Structure 1
Amino acid sequence: MAASGTLQARAFASNAQLPLPGVAIRITERTPEGSMKLLALRITDESGMIGPIVIEAPERAGSQAPGTGQPFTQVDLSAECPGYEQILVEGIQIFAGVRAIQELAMIPYPQYPEYYNLTEVFPISPQAL
């Protein structure tokens, strides 16, 4: 895999959609053995953004014919910020030469105390290409 794509994330307070600085973002990839490989650990800036983070992806040419395998790399992204619900996005698809942007609507704890110490999980199914 010599090609790559990029991933950016934008965290914001869910109700007002105000940028949320200081969110810890962890990007991981599952290895063929089933373990997790840490690709990046970043903190959002004053605009609530991280990235772009370069991630290896299969060459585009490999996706031009059926049966040549998955034309993207799948990564997981977790987001944590004190006072906000944790988020886990599973299966973000990274294509060669493409910038993926993941939006993260962070829910403040004071509004929903039943979410204390919970993680909201958003699984993304692979595209049927």
Structure 2
Amino acid sequence: MRRKFVYPAQMETQSFGSLEVNVRTDVGFVPIEGAEISIGYTGVPNSQIEVINTNVSGKTPTIELPAPPIEYSLEPSPEQPYAEYTCTVTTPGYEPVVVNGIQLLPERKALQDIEVIPVGNGVNAQQLNGESIVIGPHTLFFEYPPKIPEDEVKDIAETGEIVLREPVIPEFIIVHDGPPADASARNYWVRFKDYIKNVASSEIYATWPEATIQANTLSILSFTLNRVFTEWYRGKGQNFTITSSTAFDQKWIYGRNIYENISQVVDAIFVNYLARPNIIQPILTQYCDGRMVQCPGWMTLLQ
């Protein structure tokens, strides 16, 4: 039987999305059975609405939770189109983890991976100085720095030595979590497909039609593979593949949830990219939302 909750403030709705949490160790990615997951509204203290446990595969049951009307994410709207939830993970022998701001869209399934480490093994990979993970706002509902224009096909001479003769899909890429010149920003090794799923979940809405999601995902793939192929940042003396800054690259948000339907699209098309005739190099497909940021001559996000 569906449980009905009243979401605070603007959330007077009978729309629902769903959430599945996956808990595993940070080393070896071993699933954690019996982890307790407490779910509440982000920003509302003592708002626990559900407590669930992981199974032998480290996964929770899929639960339905209130979300805004789907129209908010299909048409321009001043209303936030997603609900935000907080998950607190506790399990014997492991450090607790808190994830704030899980973004739940209506009629879609959100997937949240959470890694834990044994008690006494230092700082959790997903916690800095004991702080919780805070998922930043979606790019379509927040004004991040606009993309600095670049040539869509790079002059090889500009990037230093090129080690790739043709596009290759890497297993991992290194994401610099900040602008290129920010030496204090952390670098993260991220599986290529996981990176694409994260960016797509951060830059488009999972409620959009599948063909629209495919088109935008293809643009994200092409941009990423251009950075990989040209060794763009390594050619400038940096030790990473790409950044999380919207001014330079695409929005990757550490620790964020993805969406099941976006994940399926990425799994189906991740070996594809856009290119010009007789040019091996993937196109650096720069784009903007076309509303909060105008970009004449570029691609705009398709709804």
Interval of TM-score (by shorter of Structure 1 and Structure 2) = 0.7 to 0.9
TM-fit CA distance, 1:68: 3.0
- What secondary structure does 2:92 align onto? coil
Separation in structure 2 between the aligned mates of residue 119 and residue 99 of structure 1, nearest angstrom:
29
1:9 maps to 2:12: no
Of structures 1 and 2, the one scoring higher in RCO (CA 8 A, sep 6+) is: 1
Instruction: Give deviations 1:84-114, integer Å, cap 9, x for gaps.
Output: 111000000000011111111111125x157
Q: 1:21 aligns with which of 12, 15, 33?
A: 33
Q: Which runs of 5+ in 2 are unaligned?
A: 1-12, 141-303
- What secondary structure does 1:47 align onto? coil
Q: 1:63–1:113: structure 2 CA closer, same or farther, 3 Å change rule? A: closer
Question: Is this contact kept in 1: 2:23–2:32, CA < 8 A?
Answer: yes
Q: 1:29–1:127: structure 2 CA closer, same or farther, 3 Å change rule? A: same
Separation in structure 2 between the aligned mates of residue 61 and residue 67 of structure 1, nearest angstrom:
8
Separation in structure 1 between the aligned mates of residue 73 and residue 122 of structure 2, nearest angstrom:
46
RMSD over aligned Cα atoms: 2.0
Identity value in percent = 26
Question: Is this contact kept in 1: 2:42–2:101, CA < 8 A?
Answer: no
Separation in structure 2 between the aligned mates of residue 25 and residue 8 of structure 1, nearest angstrom:
10
Q: 2:93 aligns with which of 78, 83, 90?
A: 83
Q: 1:107–1:69: structure 2 CA closer, same or farther, 3 Å change rule? A: same
Separation in structure 2 between the aligned mates of residue 95 and residue 105 of structure 1, nearest angstrom:
23
- What secondary structure does 2:87 align onto? strand
TM-score with structure 1 length normalisation?
A: 0.85
> Which entry has the higher C-alpha Rg, 1 or 2?
2
Q: Which runs of 5+ in 1 are unaligned?
A: none
Instruction: Give deviations 1:1-56, integer Å, cap 9, x for gaps.
Output: 1211101001112211111101110000147xx44322210111111110211011
1:104 maps to 2:114: yes
Question: Is this contact kept in 1: 2:123–2:130, CA < 8 A?
Answer: no
TM-fit CA distance, 1:62: 2.4
TM-fit CA distance, 1:63: 2.9
Count of residues in Structure 1 that have an aligned counterpart in Structure 2 = 124
